[in-house]
Structure 1
């Protein structure tokens, strides 16, 4: 079913869109699109700094606010309660109001939530601020995908997605030394104020700079033509010039591809969240790493995965440029990455700690190879630009679901006391293979309105 120019679509109440473009210089193509993706990568890094601030400051907070280790665990997890819940409405709101407005509102919201932590006087206040932070950060991934879909042609979309995703890894890595330094200088309360202020500074730059390609005066006509002719999902072209209307949010769930995006990302989330949750315990208690060795060698998989993330995005885009059909250009790195990530199971029977680290690094890098293609899928299958963020929110909900399921199942399997980490890592590896199945055989890389609905 196709959505044509009828105003009976999901956005009939929206005002008519202006397609008038500002005057631009001709000549050599400008490169403003890369500046735009760096801008959202910075926002993602700030989001992860604010998200990780509590982990670094929690010991200092525990001494002053006097709460137990059990409550500390609840406090550290509370962010994800609202972050997971608001993935779905967050994506819809980005599509409804556009990335420029929603990104600014989201960053202001979570920056206030971060800074307000400095005013808390007890456990309940910290929980409230973390819940606010989760709501504010929920639209980030959806807004990033929408920006990339607007500003990049298909043959550059996977690498651009890898760039903004690297912001999360950079922010996580930077948070530890930055917040530690701030606590030493201004205390834990001051650290929340400073990191919260970073987002507000970014919002000013965002509102001054960000526009869609046709409305951005720094982008010349050659770059706009390059984006749109290469498959960039600009609203002016598809909703204005072509008159195509967005698909209703509920209708997105009529297609097997939508459900497969959730299922595949859930499987991938299991292994990603292993490295966030149980990974240090595996190295210390299973492989015998000392705390010093954990600090020296524990970062190797994550650092290598940052490089693999970029290489995976470049590989997918290279396939597109050499004429590989788009479905294959996305599925090849996805399936290779997910199957390769199943090597995590070998870490449980590694002959030495060094070999265990090798298998873990190979697994994490393989999962990272799939990132660029995976984050490009919502833009590839969305019927219109105003469905991209909604599909991204739906897909990202799957990742959070994997983050909830994985640590619980692994903990349960460890609790059985049999074979230590063998069954937990076999479970994680099996989920990777299952995810590869969904991406290979269920996901269809073409607009949903060109696919056959399930019902």
Structure 2
């Protein structure tokens, strides 16, 4: 147990103020960790038009580069899930972030398509376990019934990263060139590593205490039952669709706005930033909404499962609609709502993963889920790149691609609504668990 952690028997309300401050300090540091994670993902998309020109590649090859980021993502997620809990968070997250920096550096000077592709593949491997690691550390500092808001804040870093990166990188490229954007993101990552090594720590749940909002969840469930449960399968389907949306937004949205709809570079940068910023805000808002629903007596399925599914369904409808509209306020509104609700659902849904997963098995389960849903990130950029290449007008390819993405989100939400039943699944786990041994006096 970390030296500054509470004993597992200490009630959360009795925690000293210094402990609570440390817990929220960890949340802010992990938010910055995810912010940098997604800024690194977004940088190629944000410099995409200039990069396409300088490297002499077409939309199909650009789709390969963006898909390549996810080719080793699943392997990294599984490896990270295995290491989570076995290596102190201070060294594990610091080492992972340092790998990001090393993967970004070659593009500070290189103009090779091969170097770009390889560096993105390695960066994907290094970033694969990021969400699982960050959530594991954040959850170790909070009891289960207070975990939704911290989870939403950490995952919100995924939106704040491109929010910060979009205008900064646009300005850097305008002042220097696209190589400088990689230098800036690498330098920011190095600063975070230094700060994290000074302040980063595991919380009391790092040794397996306080796992779930369900008191009858067993300490261990056979993986075949856990991974095949309706809630885990349904959430994985939901995350597959939302991750495809994230991959498209990171890799293709700036190009769709510039090449397809004709926005200039500065306007594109601010529109991209707006989609990410609103997503981060709504992730926090819906984390608080979920918490309020729980306090007012709503079941876990409603407050965390159905809420997430409804948000993704509405996001799907907006995603199908906005590319078909002409440039103007209506198009911007549906673009922002579609991307924001999709991201806003993720924080709430991630909290539900912890509710149905024993603490000691959580890192492995999240790693397996990430390895499955990350295929959405592999396929979506490739498909959209092919559609744009095959279309006579790039705008037609973008419209068809985003319409398909919206349909995927809607179908995934409906499937998840049917499958996600945490109360039922936990009751099933408890019923199948071996009875606890009772000591008998001699």
Instruction: Please state if 1:237 is matched with 2:227.
Output: no
Kindly state the Cα deviation for residue 36 of structure 1 after the two structures are TM-superposed: 0.8
CA distance in 2, matches of 1:356, 1:20: 50
Q: Does 1:312 align with 2:286?
A: yes
Q: 2:379 aligns with which of 402, 405, 409?
A: 405
For 1:287 and 1:194, locate their aligned partners in 2 and report how far apart those are by CA, in whole Å: 28
- Corresponding pairs, count: 415
2:343 corresponds in structure 1 to: 368
* TM-score, scaled to structure 1: 0.75
Map 1:212-227; keep pairs closer than 5 Å: 212-214=202-204
Answering whether residue 381 of structure 2 is matched by residue 381 of structure 1, we say: no
Higher mean C-alpha deviation, range 372-381 or range 272-281:
272-281
TM-score by length of 2: 0.77
| Equivalent in 165, 175, 185 of residue 165 of structure 2 | 175
* Rounded Cα–Cα distance in structure 1 between residues aligned with 2:57 and 2:255: 21
What secondary structure does 1:80 align onto? Answer: coil
Aligned to 1:212, what secondary structure does the other structure show?
Answer: coil
Alignment of 1:27-426 (within 5 A): 30-55=20-45, 68-69=57-58, 74-97=64-87, 99-118=89-108, 122-179=112-169, 192=182, 195-214=185-204, 233=205, 235-237=207-209, 252-280=226-254, 283=257, 289=263, 294-295=268-269, 297=271, 299-344=273-318, 345-347=320-322, 350=325, 353-383=328-358, 385-410=359-384, 415=390, 420=396, 424-426=401-403
For residue 431 of structure 1, the aligned residue among 360, 383, 408 is 408
C-alpha contact 1:56 1:179 (8 A) present in aligned 2:
yes
Quote the RMSD (CA, aligned, Å): 4.1
- Give 1:342 deviation, angstroms: 2.6
Provide the C-alpha distance between the structure 2 equivalents of 1:405 and 1:388, rounded to a whole number of angstroms.
Answer: 26
Q: Deviations over 1:419-443 (max 9, x none)?
A: 9466544433332222222332212
**CA 1:182–1:245 in 2, change beyond 3 Å: closer, same or farther?**
same
- Structure 1 range deviating more: 342-351 or 370-379: 342-351
Cα distance in 1 between the residues matched to 2:369 and 2:105: 30
Q: Is the 8 A contact 2:312 2:345 kept in 1?
A: yes
- Report if aligned partners of 2:301, 2:423 keep a CA contact under 8 Å in 1: yes
1:375-429 alpha-carbon deviations (Å, 9 max, x no partner): 212211112x232222222333344222333344556667577994665444333
**Higher deviation after alignment, 36-45 or 146-155:** 146-155
Q: Call closer, same or farther: CA 1:276–1:41 in 2, change over 3 Å.
A: same
CA 1:446–1:120: 2 relative to 1, 3 Å: farther
* Partner residue, 1:443: 420
- Whether contact under 8 Å (1:274, 1:406) holds in the other structure is yes
Residue 97 of structure 1 aligns to a residue in which SS?
coil
Return the offset for 1:62.
7.6
Give 3-state SS (helix, strand or coil) of 2:421's partner: coil
The change in CA–CA distance for 1:35 and 1:196 in structure 2 (over 3 A counts) is: same
